[in-house]
Amino acid sequence: MSSISFADIAIVSCGTLSLELNFLKEQGFLDSSHIYYTTPGLHQDIPELERQLVSRINKAKTKTDKVLVIYGGKFCYVNVDEPQRRMQTIIQEQGPGVVRIDATHCMDMLAGEDERDRIAQEVAGGEPVWWMTPGWIKFRRQVFAGWDKGIANENFPKHTGGAIVLDAIGYTEKYMEEKPEEFLEYSDWMGIPIIPYAITLDRFKNLLIQQAKILLG
């Protein structure tokens, strides 16, 4: 994987991915000094998502003229009041020097569709899977804000292959060891098993490099 510096680039990301980004920063891959997060779980509050995202981008612009947004396109921003308004619309409105990672949602940033299909076949025999990242474990209360057991029962059990956590940082297994009762309660609430699956951050890193190259010209 080619090395590239993010020193002149500011990052604006959904807080759900803060675990992976902090890991990449600790590893020395992500050398940006300016990383700004929105609150995890804002895909359920579109007006607040847009408000925070634009605010963080404007803050990033005070530091550099190169801003990389880490937000999915297809699933992170669904505006039922203005269906034609999409995540890419917001990014384009921010002007030159602002680009977005090429992925549909946070799970897609970590594992592409083909890889997810392979994992689902391996772990769940091809049964429907509810995908998650470690952030969906740590920030459960925000990601599922407003969800009661009834909503959970409507959404999770049809994913008969369980909930697979695409984990490149070992967070889920550590959480299982340190807070087993919380982990079991989470799984009981979902009504399906939560299964950690170890991956690498190679795809995520490549997607970041791809946009960094565009910004750096």
Number of Cα atoms under 13 Å in the Cβ half of residue 176: 12
The pLDDT of 146-155, averaged and rounded, is: 94
* Chain Cα centroid distance, residue 21: 10
Instruction: Report the C-alpha gap between 42 and 142 in whole angstroms.
Output: 8
How confident is residue 3, by pLDDT bands cut at 50, 70 and 90? confident
* Sequence-ordered strand ranges (E) for the chain: 10-14, 35-38, 67-70, 98-100, 130-132, 163-167, 194-198
Per the CB < 8 A criterion, the answer to whether 87 and 55 are in contact is no
The pLDDT of 154-164, averaged and rounded, is: 97
Reference 30, options 40, 38, 20; nearest CA is: 20
pLDDT at 2: 58
H/E stretch holding 114: helix 113-124
Q: Is 213 exposed, middle or buried (0-12, 13-18, 19+ CB in 10 A)?
A: exposed
Q: Is 96 exposed, middle or buried (0-12, 13-18, 19+ CB in 10 A)?
A: exposed
pLDDT tens for 188-200 read 999 999 999 999 9
Q: Is the pLDDT of residue 161 over 90?
A: yes
Q: Is the pLDDT of residue 157 over 90?
A: yes
pLDDT at 28: 95
Q: Is the pLDDT of residue 22 over 70?
A: yes
Reference 16, options 33, 35, 37; nearest CA is: 37
CB atoms within 10 A of CB 151: 11
Structure tokens belonging to residue 159:
């994913």
pLDDT at 83: 85
The pLDDT of 21-27, averaged and rounded, is: 97
Structure tokens belonging to residue 175:
């959480």
Per the CB < 8 A criterion, the answer to whether 149 and 34 are in contact is no
pLDDT at 77: 82
The pLDDT of 43-70, averaged and rounded, is: 95
How confident is residue 44, by pLDDT bands cut at 50, 70 and 90? confident
pLDDT at 1: 55
